[in-house]
Amino acid sequence: MRPHQWLKNGFVFAGLVFSQSWRDGPTTEHVLLAFAAFCCVSSMVYILNDWHDRASDALHPTKCCRPLASGAVSVPAALLLAVALLTGAVLLAFGNRVLLFLLGMYVVLNLAYSWRLKQVPVVDVSIIASGFMLRLLAGTVAVGIAPSRWLLLTGMFVALFLGFSKRRAESFHEASAQRAVLAQYPPALLDTFIAVTMTATLTTYSLFATSPEAQLQHGERLLYTVPVVIFGMLRYALQVSQGHGEDVARDLLRDPWMVGAGVCWLAIFSSRWL
């Protein structure tokens, strides 16, 4: 189920945080349900992916330790768990047609990615980014929070940045352990993609922080978070250049400087003195 990957589902909370709607009990409850639904459905996709790739994973130097590839968990047990998780996701989203649609899109895109499209360069990362955007929409449009256009643009670019960073980190593996699609990604091109998407993220976030709507809603607080975001992205780019970043959730939590940047961002954003 890879519960540490649920950190990615934190994108669901972006709309709640930036709109300051957490004071609204029903809205917060709906966002929490959307988060839980995405946790269930993302874990289900991981299980189906491991089931589909169990034969090739068994020959991989590190993926061979996965439960299905190693034989630690039987196929029927894994598929039963996948059905249970899908059922849980549907029950959590029951009555919210928009959220059910977004969850369905997430499943379709990720299964297409796992079973075929992860072999197509640029398309593969675009699907990864789409998964983050669907989470963002689940925490805004699906629960009645109007998303800021700057928030959507920033979310899109940061998702692409993380996707290309993941591919660059994977390129440091020995050839036998690399994804097949990496043969079509020259390292220099990946470095360019990372630089472009990082620049676009910092630009759109800075425009968001200085926009009239942000100034009206948050005062100067978002403006003061810009240096923290710049530091965080530069630090993450450094980690990627050293071969980290393949597992976004794990690598973010393992770097104390990244964790510190996150705490600093929250402290500035929640400050009443700015």
pLDDT at position 62 over 90? no
Structure tokens at 41: 């459905």
Structure tokens at 271: 């400050």
Closest CA to 111 of 157, 66, 58, 47: 47
Q: Contact 213/159 with Cβ under 8 angstroms?
A: no
pLDDT tens column, 184-238:
999 999 999 999 999 999 999 999 999 888 888 888 888 999 999 999 999 999 9
Q: How confident is the model over 63-87, as a mean pLDDT?
A: 91
pLDDT band at 273 (very low <50, low <70, confident <90, very high): low
Q: Which of 85-94, 164-173, 247-256 has the lowest mean pLDDT?
A: 247-256
Highest mean pLDDT among 9-13, 179-183, 242-246: 9-13
Between 236 and 274, the higher pLDDT residue: 236
Side-chain-side CA neighbours of 7 within 13 Å: the count stands at: 13
pLDDT at position 246 over 90? no
Q: Contact 34/6 with Cβ under 8 angstroms?
A: no
The predicted model scores a pTM of: 0.86
Provide the phi-psi class of 219: left if phi over 0, else alpha when psi is between -120 and 50, else beta.
left
Instruction: Kindly give the residue spans of alpha helices, DSSP state H, lying in the chain.
Output: 14-18, 25-52, 54-57, 67-70, 75-93, 97-115, 123-138, 149-170, 187-210, 212-218, 221-241, 248-254, 256-270
pLDDT at position 148 over 90? no
- How many angstroms separate the CA atoms of 217 and 18, rounded? 9
pLDDT band at 164 (very low <50, low <70, confident <90, very high): very high
Q: Which of 30-44, 59-73, 115-129 has the lowest mean pLDDT?
A: 59-73
